[in-house]
Structure 1
């Protein structure tokens, strides 16, 4: 079985909803049951790529290969599954407002540990052992971080002291993430290195709950030009610049090439995921790394 690691970098806020209200938020984002962290469900990822990669209806050979990769149309679903198998795209870095440097790309040891495990499954080297567990009131950043305010970093309402021993590990992590998410882009590699931060797992969980984007939406009465009765709702989105990652696996058959199937996914570098496409939500960059196991 062949596998790759798929990275999704949000260009605009992303709303992959659950259809159920939570507390005061009418339309929350999907969250992992165990961690409470935002994620993009595998069904959303597959559905988008299936649609984007769909060939013209009169191109029979291309459509046969497309169905082999993604599975047949719904009315013929019993004929078999597609060769491509998608997994949930899980959060890698959450952008959080910072007093200095505008925003930080925040991650935590548990996120990095899971990412390393996923990379090992797709045959990707991930030599870094973070060996860094900041206390709840601490944060680790690179030596030339843009986030520093003296010996502290201010994220939202959190005043965190910089861990003096974490700069090297964060710099190494930034190098690996930049190679995957911003390959060959020196400018964005520098931006990531100066804004990457590692916090305690509990602190990361708190930020995943409080640092998402919540927007009040209304519908205007066409005649009165005022808010229609009952037409006010609150909608949550994962902010722009969030980075997700998840393995994609391929079990080719009928003589098909897994490389050709992965080429389908990389024909476009920008896709739209989740709801509210007409108001600019859900546009993400696509990067794929890895090779055969």
Structure 2
């Protein structure tokens, strides 16, 4: 009897492991990309909206288009290092196909068929249009190649096991395309698209749970800086009700707050990108951001006395 029970338990255990293995497989899109003439101007706009240079530009040099990577990104799970995404054929993405690039951004799957860590915000990019991603890839191929690989991520066990990300994706990864709201204007929908896809604003401006998933009920409501440098502000009308659409637009262009102060920290890198957007796209983003309903964010830690 005991032997039968043990055999049954072993069989169930093996079946459970096989099911988990299958469920956590990296799932790339099966793509048949028809030839097309890329829109490089759109690719550049998407590039600036996505803030690619904020993380991937080589640190401590003035050219934001040298995407050799190397920037350290601290997190509760360890330190990530932004990779080289320049067109260099050896150290960058110069040998990637269009399908490789689309699957990286929309599914978080590498050309080698492994999961990407969500420090790369494919969780937002996943909602973007394939055509925009293709234009982005074409534009990035026009940028200067940069030699040299980034160092490996410094992640303790078990966070260094990429296969575990299959479970994380099952819990937190939504890859549905962006759907316009027919009750809203075309300009509002354009802003919603940019903010929630390439702009990936929620990735920093939302609190996360213990597993690193965004807390959907507090989207855009701010929270602890994942890099451990203070608190990321709430950008809903709970905190920014006094901001006008013009204030939002001017902030995205200049980094200046309505009170005359200037943004600091990592946001300065973001403004270097949004300042390059067309005035129309900044205005669309401003309209959408102004429309965010008030959401109460997590409490800020008390300041030490004295």
Category of TM-score, reference length = shorter chain: under 0.3
Bigger relative contact order, structure 1 or 2 (CA pairs below 8 A, ≥6 apart): 1
Which one has the bigger helix percentage?
Answer: 2
Which one has the bigger strand percentage?
Answer: 1
**What's the TM-score, normalizing by structure 1?**
0.25
